[in-house]
Copies of this chain bind each other. A is one copy, B any other.
């Protein structure tokens, strides 16, 4: 016989107030228990916790967001071209979010359309008032989007931007160290002539990998003829483009001892191209990639590459948003597998 019952439909959930009533305290005290506020007596805490267990109470996310002006939501953009690099990143970011009571929002955009991510932000993401946005490559180099987020006072973190000059906090992998380690590895195996691949346009962070490799080569006093560069030609997929690059590099008398591809998918294509030419990897040719993404696992033989600690980087990115802090640099690791070997005599 409830009088004055609310005319509004009540959701299935229990409220703070109801839990409090059950425990003989106010709703506010329930909130304090949940927030782990130390200013609660042990006896009260136990009563409240029992009531929470009994009712299965979970605070209402929307109400909390509204009152606290905090969404507990972190967004990340997903390009429409599948990429295991991104899938790995999401997995780690989602885990890091969960550990901090946040949730990860996925926003899809068209990688081919330069305005798409910005548009998605304006139309869709902005109104969520999420607490931050994580930008993975290639978006972490999208000046327009970054400026927009900055103007909107929307916290954001850049994963592996090509240059960390900007004032946006960034999580970087020590790519230089990675390329150097890879070069040293190849050099120590006796290789003296190298093939490099031109990355797609608009990917400065990939170009940088090549530049560092060339600096290493120069550091050894190698002649310019020690390196052969394949032009970029898009064949419909990264792998097929790598295959074409390999054909270019392996044709002619100046075929190199080893090929360094700027990422794993490209390296995979390079290996296929080499094997089609009848060159077994690594016996006739060493091939190395970069990222240690899924392509490194799919490739055969297993690919020597540089492991980016994506799980750590995603975790760091989430932390930078939830707790603030400085940009940071994460160590990479050389993964020596079977695609590189000693130069045949």
Number of copies: 2
Minimum CB–CB distance from A48 to chain B (whole Å) comes to 17
Count of A interface residues, CB-CB < 8 Å: 53
The residues of B that contact A12 with a CB separation of less than 8 Å are: 152-153
A124 within 8 Å of B by Cβ? yes
Contact of A108 among B62, B94, B101, B299 (CB under 8 A): B94
Docked pose: A58 CA to B122 CA in angstroms: 9
- Using known A-B contacts A239-B297, A298-B295, A300-B272, determine if residue A78 contacts B61 with beta carbons closer than 8 Å: no
Docked pose: A108 CA to B58 CA in angstroms: 19
Interface residues of A in 107-133 (CB under 8 A from B): 107-108, 120, 123-124, 126-129
Docked pose: A86 CA to B120 CA in angstroms: 22
Contact of A91 among B101, B108, B123, B124 (CB under 8 A): B108
A63 within 8 Å of B by Cβ? yes
User: CB-defined interface of A1-45 with B at 8 Å, one 1/0 digit per residue?
Assistant: 000000001011100000000000000000000000000000000
A262 within 8 Å of B by Cβ? no
Minimum CB–CB distance from A253 to chain B (whole Å) comes to 27
Interface residues of A in 127-157 (CB under 8 A from B): 127-129, 152-153
